[in-house]
Amino acid sequence: MSGPKIDHVELERRRKAELERARQEKLRKIREETDRLNAAVSNTKAQIDQIDRHLFSLVRNVEHSDEMALTVQKLKELKALYKTQLTKALEINVPPEPDAISACTRKLADTAKKITENYFNEVKPLEERIKNFNNQLEIQNTVTSTFRGLSAEREKIRDIEDFDFTARMDNVAHSDIEVTVKERASQILSEIEELVNSESIQELDMKNLLAIANNIYKTAFETNVFFEAAAIEYNVVKPDIVKNIAIFDDVYQDYYAEYVVYLDSINKNRINPIGIMPKEKYNFASIEELQEETALLAQASKTALEMNYIREQIDEVMRLFEYNMSEEIILDANQTGSHYICENESGQSAIHVHVSDKKQIMMEIVGIGGSAAVSANSSVNSTITASSDLSDGERNNLLIEQGGFCEIHPKIIDELKKRDLILNVKSRKLPDLRYCKKIAPVTAGKGTVISQSELINERAAERRRSKGMKAKLREMK
């Protein structure tokens, strides 16, 4: 029986446990390094925000001054230039090895430091120009105010001649004067702004804080009683929100490490590895959503590790029978599982191996050769020619090859069973002309990698939703 042959495959429990132990150890090492990398990423983002705040502090009093127009324009250009450089520095394809991640961390920290130093060095002359302008403006305003009030104040000079500035300032410093509502409101709003701008805040916490901020702002202009009630509300919710941010950060570090291990697993047998950064924090609306994504990645990582082991065993066994296993071939942009071609020296036929997502191994004889063309944007790198499109000679030769495969397939299965694989027969087809087919490479699409959404989020399509408030606010920054 030498038509397509299908077996269900599972790893022995002992082998599964060994693979998981190795995966956990790798996760631990990667988690240590990605913690440092994410700290460097957060620091770089803070430097971007620092440039924003620095520019705002410089231009807020002179932005509409004709005399300072060119200076303000130059500052805005420098801000855009250096923010772009810092943003580009954050475009990192995270490597799968701890030492390489450590090198990325050092490179990012050094690059960000150099860019920030260059920014402040370049804006220093402009900053001095604005400070001088503000000083001159302040002097002019002071002189004008002095002359306006000179006549009215002349008679009061005698009354303050004996004013002891040192004593009075010391009394103020040690007094119990209460901070004004205006100052307290500003302080609370500043704290809320910092929390809301955290990438690690949950969307619900963000909405609650924004509502409290609005209440703080309104009540600051009303009675002290209403303001105190709003301030108490903030002080009650603040500890839980700060705690949630810390939990979110910790879970994100787990997600990040799982992501790197998963990406390494799916890249293991690729000539052109996929290099994609994990999702950023603001893409997750809640701790629960982040935990769900982390759990999905962990399960996908385990499955990919097991599938890699199965592929490695098939590869080794095929070599025993003088067949060389190819890189994965893409027959359809939406294909499930993995397809491989195992060729021998004759070059006239090959064994087509399909390992499905449900851990079924299908093996069949196929013809090889020829070529086809597909869209340049397609990920497809091979096509199948059905039996009806083959010549009579091709079909007859493949039918003979199917008969020859009868002899080695049981031996292939026996060898696989020696390698901690449990195989159960699902189907055995007799040789038949209808199973004759040819697989040919294509000129376009070869080496094209599958998109991020297909690989990383292939099981999450049903969970896709419109961007939440966190993502929208972050993109507005």
Q: Are 304 and 334 contained in the same domain?
A: no
Contacts of 215 (CB under 8 A, 6+ apart): 230, 233
Q: Are 397 and 373 contained in the same domain?
A: yes
Q: Are 290 and 368 contained in the same domain?
A: no
pLDDT at 137: 66
pLDDT at 373: 60
Q: Are 219 and 94 contained in the same domain?
A: no
Rounded to whole angstroms, how far apart are CA atoms 350 and 359? Answer: 22
Q: Six-digit token pair at 473?
A: 């606010």
The answer to whether position 271 is within a domain reads no
Other CB atoms within a 10 A radius of the CB of residue 236 amount to: 10
Q: Are 184 and 226 contained in the same domain?
A: yes
Cβ–Cβ < 8 Å for 356, 370 = no
Cβ–Cβ < 8 Å for 350, 344 = yes
User: In this model, does residue 74 exceed pLDDT 80?
Assistant: yes
Q: Are 42 and 113 contained in the same domain?
A: yes
Q: Are 406 and 301 contained in the same domain?
A: no
The answer to whether position 14 is within a domain reads no
Rounded to whole angstroms, how far apart are CA atoms 165 and 199? Answer: 47
Of 104-118, 241-255, 257-271, 439-453, least confident by mean pLDDT is 439-453
Where is pLDDT greater, at 476 or 27?
Answer: 27
Q: Which of 260, 273, 382, 385 is nearest to 329 (CA)?
A: 382
Secondary structure letter of residue 427 according to DSSP: E
Rounded to whole angstroms, how far apart are CA atoms 398 and 3? Answer: 10
Where is pLDDT greater, at 81 or 471?
Answer: 81
Cβ–Cβ < 8 Å for 427, 8 = no
Counted domains in the chain: 3
Question: HSE of 451 in the Cβ direction (CA atoms, 13 Å)?
Answer: 8
Rounded to whole angstroms, how far apart are CA atoms 374 and 442? Answer: 7
Q: Are 201 and 132 contained in the same domain?
A: no
The answer to whether position 395 is within a domain reads yes
The answer to whether position 336 is within a domain reads yes
pLDDT digits (tens, 9 = 90+) for 261-302: 998 888 887 767 776 678 889 899 999 999 999 999 999 999
Cβ–Cβ < 8 Å for 432, 365 = no
Q: Are 261 and 220 contained in the same domain?
A: yes
Amino acid symbol at 338: S
89 class by beta-carbon count within 10 Å (0-12 exposed, 13-18 middle, 19+ buried): buried
Q: Which of 358, 259, 334 is nearest to 301 (CA)?
A: 259
Stated as kind and residue range, the H or E segment containing 209 is helix 203-219
Question: HSE of 425 in the Cβ direction (CA atoms, 13 Å)?
Answer: 10
The answer to whether position 4 is within a domain reads no
Cβ–Cβ < 8 Å for 29, 98 = yes
Where is pLDDT greater, at 130 or 474?
Answer: 130
Q: Are 351 and 410 contained in the same domain?
A: yes
pTM of the model: 0.72
- Note down the domain range covering 122: 28-147
Strands 360-368 and 438-441: parallel
Rounded to whole angstroms, how far apart are CA atoms 285 and 298? Answer: 20
The answer to whether position 199 is within a domain reads yes
Cβ–Cβ < 8 Å for 303, 8 = no
The answer to whether position 3 is within a domain reads no
Q: Are 111 and 204 contained in the same domain?
A: no
The answer to whether position 469 is within a domain reads no
Q: Which of 237, 238, 195, 192 is nearest to 216 (CA)?
A: 192
Assign 178 to helix, strand or coil: coil
Rounded to whole angstroms, how far apart are CA atoms 473 and 467? Answer: 10
Q: Six-digit token pair at 149?
A: 């009030």
Dihedrals φ, ψ of 3, to 5°? -80, -165
Cβ–Cβ < 8 Å for 27, 257 = yes
Point out the domain boundary residue: 147, 163, 198. 147
Segment 331-346 mean pLDDT: 84
**pLDDT band for position 457 (cuts 50, 70, 90):** very low
Q: Are 216 and 310 contained in the same domain?
A: yes
Assign 66 to helix, strand or coil: coil
Cβ–Cβ < 8 Å for 49, 118 = no
Mean pLDDT of the chain: 81
Q: Six-digit token pair at 389?
A: 């499109």
Q: Which of 230, 263, 197 is nearest to 48 (CA)?
A: 197
**pLDDT band for position 467 (cuts 50, 70, 90):** very low
Rounded to whole angstroms, how far apart are CA atoms 29 and 162? Answer: 71
Assign 432 to helix, strand or coil: coil
Segment 93-100 mean pLDDT: 86
